[in-house]
Amino acid sequence: MGRDRTLRLQFGNRIEVVCVVGTRLCTDVYGAAPADAVTFAVKHSDDVEVEIISDGQSEHAPANGGKQWPLDPKTTLSIQMTRPSTEANDNKVTVGYYGENGGHPIDQAGVFLTGIEISLDVDADRDGVVEKNHPKKAVWTWGPDGQGAVLLVNCDKESPYTGKEDCQDDKVFSKDDLEDMSRMILRTKGPDRLPPGYEMVLYIPLSDCDKVGVFYLQNPFFGQRYIHVLGPRKLFHVVKYTGGSAEMEFFVEGLRFPDAGFNGLITINVSLLEPVAEGIPQTPIFTDTVVFRIAPWIMTPNTLAPVSVFVCSVKDNYLFLKEIKNLVSKANCKMSVCSRYMNRGDRWMQDEIEFGYIHAPHKGFPVVLDSPRNGGLEDFAVKEILGPDFGYVSREPLFEEVTSLDSFGNLEVSPPVTANGKEYPLGRILIGSSFPLSAGRRMTKVVRDFLYAQKVQSPIELYSDWLTVGHVDEFVTFVPIPGKKQFRMLMASPSACYKLFREKQKEGHGEAVMFKGYTGTDTKRVTVNKVLSNEVMVQENQYVQRCIDWNRDILKKELGLAEKDIIDLPALFKMDKQGKAMAYFPNMVNMIVLSRDLGIPKPFGPIIEAECCLEQHVCSLLEPLGLTCTFIDDVSSYHKQLGEVHCGTNVQRKPSAFKWWNVTP
């Protein structure tokens, strides 16, 4: 950005000015004229363009000064360099003043010009190339036709010798660290040196200093060293002008994700400063600006392919681990088991972390979000996951009480949807909360603020506080339809369970027994007839169904779903002493989804003709879609502690192929 500068012509004094190519110098020819002058003429070098402006009309002045113009108080000169200088003061503009006879000039005033090109450049069109002086580099817009550079939060850890993310320090330990950063190039062209007193300064606003860091390669040919030039406590950096045609390469890292009070936009400027007089501060005569947006943290829905399954080893889940391992082997993905030493008896892998990713045109990598629940798995994400090209982020409330709703079984994301005429190509985040009219449990504000600030997966708040644990994964999940860009939403349904049991009762299977083979339990004999005749349970499940239906209506509206997109899985609940609901038998909706392979909690439903009628029913709903159902016994190791298969596992998935900057929030 070069503002028009006003220049005062003086007789007898040598005026030397640096002019950035493309910017204008304006001067008043009338005020500097001798008393008896009536006309003026202009001579200028070939690399200078001069316009005579009077009464809103402009005319180019010929270089040879062959034309005279009448002096008028409204007349000004507009001077512009068309190319950079090869030497200081190698261009000149001379104004000659003439009397009535128009012969020789009465007097002359001149200015010596040094032209310089300055361009601060970034990858503004998001193609991986840092173009020169892109016209949209100082703005940031969303959508397929949007412009603006992208910045990654440097939240991985390249060096094994540091205990924190790379963005927490001001050092570069390896070139791998630089690959996480966005390139920024300062391009200059001009004479070998600028006149005394001129200098270039790179700087950031005070409001951005804790959100961005900039490194510069010093001595590129002799022992490379990357110095930290901008960031916390470093608001500006004087750039050495090297002369000729030069490119100075900088590396920019994000330090903070978008959040409450920070929209994710970062501004970096370079200014050319001009001396005024000794003892008076320099003034900026030219500023070039670039804008970055920090890439959001993005969640991955069940419809994306699995990369690795994470699960804990605890003293009583050996058989569960074995079944998960078999499922993972079928799905052809990796498995990572967290040792007892690391998990300290905490088995709830889903509750501790949520996998996502960040992405820029030049780079992308997975990032784990650590929940504020801080159980036995508190150190797992930092010690076992954070590393090269695997980032880490967390949000900890300062004053709010952390509840069960802050565990990440209460944080899910839908597949891509279109709802109410708006596309959500990366899906929408689902958060469990309290009923709008009650003062119940909610996810802490600091986590909700973080999720909303990412913008690209507009969150939906559901009602989950009616559950003892209070997680959305207890009543809803999503499964892909293999081979199609479609999915189905699965919901826990007491109504579907009662309907199925009544059908079995009518078919003469009222005495079919539930919970056969239920591990480690002394459950009394429970039959279809007993379940259907238990009026208290019927009433409790009517309440549960209403709570689920409330969420069903929200999801249909906010995800643009019809009834045909929803599959009801039989489920029953019972109430605790506080009037909250918990699963009566293993809750099948709380499953792990590995592409077409589903790991479903084994429900131990009524046995009819040597088969569990609940398993049979679920298979009849899901297998025609091309899905494979594997029922996993989680009773003793998870269900009895108010969780299921999904609660005890976590899946890192491949990132979406969709480029988040093409979203229109």
Give the whole-angstrom CA distance, residue 599 versus residue 604.
15
Q: Are 418 and 560 in contact (CB under 8 A)?
A: yes
Q: Are 477 and 564 in contact (CB under 8 A)?
A: no
Catalytic hit among 473, 568, 633, 634: 473
Burial 34-60, CB ≥16 within 10 A → b, else e: eeebbbbbbbbbebbbbbbebeeeeee
Q: Are 303 and 594 in contact (CB under 8 A)?
A: no
Strand partners, 268: 290
Give the whole-angstrom CA distance, residue 38 versus residue 121.
47
Q: How far is CA 374 from CA 337, 353, 371, 416, in A?
A: 19, 10, 7, 31
Task: Mark whether 471 is an active-site residue.
Answer: yes
User: Which 8-state DSSP code applies to residue 381?
Assistant: I
Catalytic hit among 177, 259, 351, 370: 351
Q: Which tokens go with 212? A: 């961005």
Residue 575 has a CB neighbour count (10 Å cut-off) of 18
Catalytic hit among 228, 237, 359, 471: 471
Strand pairing report for 487-493 and 476-480: antiparallel
Task: Mark whether 351 is an active-site residue.
Answer: yes
State residue 226 phi and psi, 5-degree precision: -100, 120
Task: Mark whether 473 is an active-site residue.
Answer: yes
Task: Mark whether 647 is an active-site residue.
Answer: yes
Strand pairing report for 57-60 and 68-70: unpaired
Nearest alpha carbon to residue 35 among 94, 83, 107: 107
End-to-end C-alpha distance for the chain, whole angstroms: 29
Q: Are 268 and 252 in contact (CB under 8 A)?
A: yes
Nearest alpha carbon to residue 571 among 530, 605, 597: 605
| Burial bucket for residue 12 (CB in 10 Å: 0-12, 13-18, 19+) | exposed
Task: Note the Cα 286 to chain centre separation in Å.
Answer: 32
Q: Are 639 and 601 in contact (CB under 8 A)?
A: yes
Task: Note the Cα 230 to chain centre separation in Å.
Answer: 22
Burial 375-388, CB ≥16 within 10 A → b, else e: bbbbebbbebbbee
Q: Which tokens go with 560? A: 């643009």
Q: Which helix (H) or strand (E) holds 347?
A: none
Place of tokens 């459950």: 523
- Residues acting as catalytic residues: 351, 471, 473, 647
